[in-house]
Amino acid sequence: MSQEQINRAIAKDYKAGFTTDIESDTLPPGLTEDTIRFISEKKNEPEWLLEWRLRAFQVWRDMAGPDWAHVNYPEVDFQRISYYSQPKSMEDRPKSLDEVDPELLATYEKLGIPLHERESLAGVAVDVVFDSVSVATTFREKLAEAGVLFCSISEAVQQYPDLVRKHLGSVVPRKDNFYAALNSAVFSDGSFVYIPKGVRCPMELSTYFRINEANTGQFERTLIIADEGSHVSYLEGCTAPMRDENQLHAAVVELVALNDAEIKYSTVQNWYPGDAEGKGGIYNFVTKRGLAHTNAKISWTQVETGSAVTWKYPSCILRGDNSVGEFYSVALTNNLQQADTGTKMIHLGKNTRSTIVSKGISAGHSSNAYRGLVRVGPTAKGARNYTQCDSLLIGDQCAAHTFPYIESKNPTGIIEHEATTSKVSDDQLYLCQQRGLDPEKAVSMIVNGFCKEVFKELPMEFAVEAGKLLEVSLEGSVG
C-alpha cells in the first residue's frame, strides 16, 4: 500500500460535530471579578465559595501559562471567551427528565448517550454537562439507596456544603497551575460523587461533557470522594461541535481515596480535533489528580483521540502507606493535532506502588509527547514503579516524543522504565491485505492490538467504544 492510500485512509470525519439549536443564556466574552460574581450569584453560591473563587482569580492574574509543554498554539485571549453559557430552558431547573428541552435530549441521543433510565439498560448512571450546566443525573434514586451521592457540583454546593468545602481544592490547590487557578475562579459546573464508608458503588458512574456554544470555554470541576473502604468506577466522555475557532476546555478533576478505598477513573475523550488543516478544535488543558490514603488505590485509564491541543497529566499522590497508583493511557493524534500528556506518580508513603502504561499513536502530521514524572520521596521506603511507554508511528510525517522524569530520594525505591517506538510497517499492512483485509481495517486492527493492554483496563462497554473511536479517528490516515 502506498503512502497516498494510507493518507486517504486516515483522513477523518468528526462524527460528533453537529451543533444544537438551543437558545442559550451566554455571558458576553470577558473575564473580570464581575464575571466571577455573576457566575457565583447565578448559582446562588454561599459567600465562602465566592471568596474562594475570587482568591483564585487573584492568583491566576499573577500567573503565566505553561510554556514547557511540547505543543505550539497561539496565545489564548482570555477576554474573548465567554465563561458562562446555559441553555435557556434550564433557567428553572428541570425537576425530571420530562422537563428537559427535547432538543437537548435529542443531542445526547445523537451522541448515543442513553439519558432515559429505561433506555439505560447497561446500568450506567449518567450526569451530563452541556456547556456550563449539568443537565440531568440519571439513576439518582437507586444510588441514594446505597447512600451514594451523585449530582452536579452546583447542587452539591447547596446540599452537601460541608463535604464540598472540606475537599474542594484539597488535591489540586487553586495556585497549583495557571489553568487550575483559572478553573477555580470560573468553574461553572461538573460532577460530584461521594461514596460512603464501605460501600461498593452498585453501578458505573458516568459524565458526558459537551461544548455547544461558540466562543465558550468549558470549565468543569469534578470532585470524587471515596470514603474508607469504598469502591467506585467512574467514566467520563467528551465531545464538541465542529467550529472554526479554537475552544478552551480547562477542567479540574480531584479524586480523594480515603483509607482502603478504590477509585477507577476512565476517560474517553473525543473533543473536536480541528479539521485536516488544523483549523478549529478544542484546547484541552486539564488538571486531574488523585490523593490516595493508606492502602487506597487510584487508577486512571484514558483514551484520548480528540482536541487540537492536549495538555493533561492525570496524577496520583500516593500519600498513604501501601497505596497504589495506576495510569493506563492511549493517546492518538492525527492530522495537525498535538498532545503532551502523561502522568505524575508521587510516592510519599511506604511500600507505595505505581504502574504506568502509555501508548502513543501518531498519524498524519501530528505530534505526540509522553511526559511522565515518577518521584520517590524520602519517606517512601520500598516504593516501586514500573513504566512502559510505547509509541507507534503511522506514516512518515508525524512525531513521537518521550520525556520521562525520575526523581528518587529514597535508596530503597525501585523504578523501572521501558520504552519502545515502532511503526505500522508496510510488511504488516501487506500481510493483512494479502489475507483480504482492506488497508483501513488493517491499520485499525494493528493499532487496536498495540493498545490492548490499556483497553483491557476499561469497563467492557467502553472498551468497545474506544476501539470504534480509534477506528473513526484513524479514518483516512493510513500511512
Partner 1 sequence: MLSIKDLHAEVEAKNILKGLNLEIREGEVHAIMGPNGSGKSTLGHVLSGRPGYEITQGNVEFLGKDLLDLDTEERAHLGLFLAFQYPVEIPGVSNMEFLKASVDAVRESQGASAYDTVSFTRRAREACAAVDLDQGFLKRGVNEGFSGGEKKRNELMQMMLLEPRLCILDETDSGLDIDALQVVANGVNAMRSESRSFLLVTHYQRLLDYIEPDFVHVLAGGRIIKSGEKSLALELEAKGYSWLDEGKVA
Residues 6+ apart with CB under 8 A from 472: 12, 13, 15
Smaller CB distance to partner 1: residue 79 or 425?
425
Contacts with partner 1 in 441-470 (CB under 8 A)?
Answer: 441, 445-446, 448-453
Site string for partner 1, 280-319 (x = CB under 8 A): ----------------------------------------
Encode burial over 110-141: b for 16+ CB neighbours within 10 A, e otherwise: ebebebebeebeeebbbbbbbbbbbbbbbbee
**Which amino acid type is present at position 356?**
I
Q: Any idea how long the chain is?
A: 479
Instruction: For residues 372 and 342, give the distance between their C-alpha atoms in angstroms, rounded to a whole number.
Output: 5
Site string for partner 1, 391-430 (x = CB under 8 A): ----------------------------------xxxx-x
Smaller CB distance to partner 1: residue 48 or 430?
430
Smaller CB distance to partner 1: residue 360 or 439?
439
CA nearest 330: which of 304, 300, 367, 307? Answer: 304
CB of 422 to partner 1, least distance (A): 8
Q: How far is CA 101 from the centre of its chain?
A: 27
Smaller CB distance to partner 1: residue 34 or 438?
438
Region of 54-62, 65-73, 165-173, 437-445 interacting with partner 1 (CB under 8 A): 437-445
CB of 363 to partner 1, least distance (A): 17
How many residues bind partner 1 (CB under 8 A)? The answer is: 25
CB of 301 to partner 1, least distance (A): 17
Smaller CB distance to partner 1: residue 54 or 437?
437
Residues 6+ apart with CB under 8 A from 127: 134, 136, 137, 138, 150, 151, 152, 191, 205, 206, 207, 208
CB of 276 to partner 1, least distance (A): 24
H helix or E strand, kind and range, residue 10 = helix 3-10
CB of 442 to partner 1, least distance (A): 9
Q: Is 388 in the site for partner 1 (CB under 8 A)?
A: no
| Residue 274 grid coordinates | 480541528
Instruction: For residues 74 and 68, give the distance between their C-alpha atoms in angstroms, rounded to a whole number.
Output: 14
Region of 33-41, 178-186, 235-243, 436-444 interacting with partner 1 (CB under 8 A): 436-444
Binding site for partner 1 (CB under 8 A): 1-2, 425-428, 430-439, 441, 445-446, 448-453
